[in-house]
Structures are given as structure tokens and as C-alpha cells.
Amino acid sequence: MVTPTAAPTELPTAATRVGRALLLHCPDCGGGRIFSHWLRLKPRCPHCELKLDRGRPDHFVGAYLVNLIIAELLFASILGVWVISVWPAVPWDAIEKVAAAAMILSPLLTYPFTRTMWLAADLIFDAPKASDR
Ligand SMILES: [Zn+2]
């Protein structure tokens, strides 16, 4: 079990917060293991006790939207490169099956990253307060 530590004494830079978020760590203290499983963020950071939903029940609605946009843009980009690289002999049957699976899987794969990135962006624009712990 990890013993909670005090909140960071200095505010991390925006780049530090984003880097930590991309590693799926707490954007505020850098501590890891903030997910109870791939799709579920713990209520508080186990290291600095930061409320990971910032105490707002609808905090991650934006993360859901950003996740969907990023996942589908990534999917469309890969599909476009695939079609262009094999043109004109495009294997439409294979693309149909892969595309259906990718449309379901890509948001699930990118979800934790967009969730921590959304938290990092929120912390950049609205620094944590004492009430966030
Ligand atoms: Zn933390």
C-alpha cells in the first residue's frame, strides 16, 4: 500500500503536467497507479490525495468528447493511409471488418490518455486548491 504524501509544494509546469498525463500518472504530483483498471480512474490520487474528478460529477464529459474525436481521427487516418497505400487494389472486404473492430476498439484504447490529459488541462487552467484534496 502506498502511503499518501503531501501535495506538491511547487506547481508543475504545463509541459510537466502533460508529460505526466501521457504516462497515465497524476498530472499534479507525478504519482502512478491512478487507475483502478484501464477504464476507471480512482476517486483520488493515492499519492497526493488530489480529487481526480476535481469534485465535479460532470468533469469528464469533455474527456469523453475529446476521446471520441481523437480515436476516430486516428482511425480515419490509419484507414486513409491503408487505402492510399494499396490503391487501386483495395481489399474492401478486409477493410470493412477491420474498420468495424477499430471503430469500437480505438476509443477504448485512447480513453485513459484523454482522461488524464483532460485532467492535466484542467489543472493547467484551474490550479488545484486546498479543497481539491
Ligand atoms: Zn497526485
pLDDT reading at 2 higher than 80: no
| Ligand 1 centroid to residue 66 C-alpha, Å | 23
**Which has more pLDDT, 74 or 2?**
74
* Confidence grade of residue 8 (pLDDT, cut at 50, 70, 90): low
What pLDDT band is residue 89 in, cutting at 50, 70 and 90? Answer: very high
- Residue (of 98, 104, 125, 117) closest to 52 by Cα position: 117
| Domains of the chain, residue spans | 14-132
Ligand 1 midpoint to CA 22 (Å): 14
pTM (2 decimals)?
0.81
At 78, list the grid cell.
490509419
Give distance in angstroms: CA of 77 to centre of ligand 1: 34
Distance from residue 108's CA to the centre of ligand 1 (Å): 24
CB count, 10 Å around CB of 38? 10
Q: CA–CA separation, 25 vs 21, rounded Å? A: 5
Task: Write down the pLDDT at residue 72.
Answer: 87
Nearest to 24 by CA among 102, 103, 110: 110
Between the CA of 44 and the centroid of ligand 1 the distance, in Å, is 8
Per-residue model confidence as pLDDT tens digits over 25-75? 999 999 999 999 999 999 999 999 999 998 888 888 988 998 989 888 988
In the reported structure, the alpha carbon of residue 56 is separated from the centroid of ligand 1 by a whole-number distance in angstroms of 17
7 band by pLDDT with thresholds 50, 70 and 90: low
> What's residue 5's pLDDT?
53
